[in-house]
Structure formats: structure tokens, C-alpha cells
Structure 1
């Protein structure tokens, strides 16, 4: 729990916040739209700024506005915006981030920074998988241990409380994926793909899904691209809903001075067409 000393006494400020968006891409804009829409409902005024990482004059203007106005709080959408506002010594307002995949490894973001990361706790993912798949015995997690050994360890521990077993499909390079997948695919019921620097690539995702379908093995993914490519089950983010969640968290913080860490809102997508094709029973 994080408590901001200036707000801990319940004092209310001007109820105006600033939102800084890293760049003009669809997911970040949707988060900003979600914050703005929910702020209208909860009577919180918001100014939105969009950075351009390649245009210093735009950054200077945003910094000038953030310094000039006495915002009750500044929210950063995406890693570039987070690094920008935390690196601005002249900005004294409380700060939070949202829509950052891996804040722990975001260079320039302090360890005590608070916000909403795009990381669904492994235990929650394991629970969702168990609830949706009725007859799933063994899941292979495809990952590079240099980046995701901790995820695998947590998944293996979480599986003990649920109805399936976890085994590792470890790779140290993209070149190993074909060999390791071929060695394991016959002994698993599903392949769990997670955000991983070695495995992230549209071609690799499509290749793994295609091999899974060929072998009668479903793939569990983590965004809409997996669903469109033929994954049987995916965790997906509704970025507008994430913006709504962020706005409500900000409102609570401004009223109480306390920040409680929550996982991001998400939805699960079942591809029943692929499930039927593979003969896998999956609950909606």
C-alpha cells in the first residue's frame, strides 16, 4: 500500500488531473479515452497530453504545462510517458502509471512507482485456465528461462492447486523452438505462450499455433492476435476498460491518499471453432 502524505488527511485539491500518453497508438489512446469517459462520470476534470518521443518541442511544451498547473495527480500511459513524468524534477504532483507491461524492468521508473501493470498474476491465469478447460492434463509453457523462469516457477506452483500439470519447454534462442516443440508436443494437451523476448514474433506465434492444430494441441495466448491466429484460449485486455479502472483508482487515491495495488481488468476469449476442431472441451 502506498500513501501520499499530502493527501492522507483527506484534503481535496482542485480535482483536476493530467494524463500523459506515451505516443499516438491505438491501445494507449483507448486507455486515455477510458480515463476521460470515467472521469466525466465521477466528476474529475482531466487534461490529456500526447508525447512525441522524436519531437523535443512537444515534450518541452508538455513539461511546461505540467509544471505550470497545480495538478492533483499526473497519470502516465505507457513506459515513455512514465519515464518522462518521473524524470521531470519540476513536476511535484503525485504520479501513477498504467498500461506498462513490465514496470520492474522499465529503466527510469523508480522502484516505488505505483500504478497498474499489464501483468495478470500467474495464479489468476492458472485459475482461469482450470475453470475453462475441463479435461486438461498437461500444459507446456514455452519460454526462455533468462526472461521468464520466475513465471514458470509460479505457474508450476499454481498448477498444484488446480486440475493440470505444468512442464517446461525451455528455449535459449528462436532457432531452438522447432526442435523443442517437436520433442514435447506429443506429451502435452496445450501450449501456454507468454510474453517472452525470445518467443515474441508474429511468425513464431503463427508457427506454434499451426503445429498445435496439426498435432491436436491447443494454444493458450495473451492477446487478440492469438485468437485471430487460431489459439483456443486467450487472455485479452480491453484498453478502454483499463482506462475506466485507472480513473476509479485515481479517484480513490485522491479521496483517501492510499494506493492499493490491483491486477489489470482483463477478459478471457474462448475460440470454440478451434476447440471443436481439436476435440477440446472449453467452457465459455
Structure 2
């Protein structure tokens, strides 16, 4: 029989090596000691974690896998605001993105004339999220043209009917975040000349116009602090779920391609600019 020698009470399970997961890991390790495992972008299964007191699931793809494989308390670093995850009492942590109000406020500042935005989501998992999103949009005088999809192919079909939108907003929904869905979103953006608000910097780098992307170091530090509090006796349900700090990320090449003028006020806030 092989015994696993643990050096920590906390395990970090990352979706993969590289960014942004390494930065999240670095933030966690500023706060708490942890053993680290990588799922190699889904090529590996979740290891045996039952001897750990807390597991930090690093990356939105990892959270549900860890919840299924581990019976203890889980801290998510990059949680999607899905209906089932909101109800999970064993789970606390940090959402993948800043608040919708903060994101939409940046959208309003970046595109002052925006009146209608396109949004696609999976109604089976993200219905309550969309209610929160639409309430924030309405508060800023922005209407939403909504469509539901459960596969990238359905995302593609939905986009074909979005002809009168001023921008497309990627919400943190697992169907929308898939690579195939994003390719369809970019094709529609370039074909119909509407800008895309990306969920994170990775999507901006790949072709979205801009984002209020999560500060991954901050995300890791917040997740590490929650794990530390659980070790001290706190329950995940008492810690809840919090938002990461946001960083403005812009793709200048896409702005030029779409003919979008970037306000100076937004450029002055940019943490990262892709050219």
C-alpha cells in the first residue's frame, strides 16, 4: 500500500500549469501553505484529496470536479455564478469576474452610446445570474437582447439573429466560455462590426475588445484567506462568495479593426494593452 505524505492541510487543484493558474497559486501561497496538483487542462483526473482539511479549486473548470471528488470544504478561485453553485454550502470563494455593476459601468464608459447589448447564456445553469445581470444593465439604461444556448452550435445560431446590438457581452457562463463558442462570437463580431466585451484578459488577448478582467493575484489571496479561516473553524457558508478586484484590459488592434475610439479616461485606467 502506498501512503501519500502530506506537507500541508490545504490542497490546491489547478486546471493547468501556466497562466492564469500560476498567478492564482502564487496569491494563495502568500497566505497559506499548500500542496499543489494540476489537472493538465482536463487530461488528468482529480487526485485523492480526502486527507486534506480544505481544497482550493483553482479555475472555473475545476470547481465542480473537485466538489464531486472531495467530500470536504472547498474554496473556489474563479467560481461561475451558476444556480447550483450558489446553493452549495460546502463551497465559498471568489467569483471569476468582478460585479456586473462594475463591469457594465466600464462598458458604459468605454462605449458611451451603447443602448442594447447581446447576451447568450445557458438557462439551465445561469437563470438567476441573468436576472442579476439584467437588473444591473437596466440600472445603467442598457437593454439586453438575450438568447439561450446549451452548445457552441446553438451560440452560433443565436448570434445570427443579433443584428441590431451595439456590443456583445460575454457573461461568465460555461457554454459561452468554451473555445468553440468564442470563435463563433468573434466571427459575428468581425462580420457585423460590433465589439465584444470579454470575460477575462485571455479573451481580450484572443480578440475581444476589452474587459474588466479579474486581478488573479488578488483572487488567489482572497481564496487563501478563506482557506485559512476554514482551518481556524469557520464554515464556508459563513464566508460566502466575493468578487475579485478588476483590471482594465484593452486590445488596440481590435479597436482599430472595428473603428472604435477609446476614451482617454478608459485608457488611463488600463492595466494591460494588447497591440
**Do these two structures clear the TM 0.5 threshold for a shared fold by scoring above it?**
yes
CA contact (8 A) 2:84 2:125 kept: no
Match of residue 21 from structure 1: 12
- Residue 244, structure 1, aligned to residue 221, structure 2: yes
Cα 1:251/1:163, change in 2 over 3 Å: same
Question: Cα distance 1:240–1:130, how it changes in 2: closer, same or farther (>3 A)?
Answer: same
Match of 2:129 in 1: 151
CA distance in 1, matches of 2:45, 2:194: 47
Match of 1:196 among 173, 189, 194: 173
Corresponding residue for residue 125 of structure 1: 103
- Residue 138 (structure 1) aligns with: 116
* Deviation readout 1:37-60 (Å, 9 max, x if unpaired): x23xxxxx624243779689x62x
**Alignment RMSD:** 3.6
Counterpart among 8, 11, 28 of residue 35 in structure 1: 28
TM-score, normalised to structure 1, is 0.68
Q: Partner residue of 1:9?
A: none
SS at match of 1:222: coil
State how many pairs are aligned. Answer: 244
Cα distance between partner residues in 2 of 1:118 and 1:179: 26
- Are 2:212 and 1:212 equivalent residues in the alignment? no
The one-character-per-residue Cα deviations of 1:180-201 (angstroms, maximum 9, x if unpaired) are: 323222x111011223344443
Q: Could you tell me which runs of 5 or more consecutive residues in structure 2 were left unpaired when the two chains were aligned.
A: 1-6, 268-275
What is the TM-score with the length of structure 2 in the denominator?
0.70
Q: Does 1:264 align with 2:264?
A: no
Structure 1 residue 252: Cα displacement = 7.0
Answer yes or no: is 1:281 the counterpart of 2:261. yes
User: Larger % of helix: which?
Assistant: 1
| TM-aligned CA distance change 1:250 to 1:208, over 3 Å | closer
For the pair shown, the structure with the greater C-alpha radius of gyration is: 1
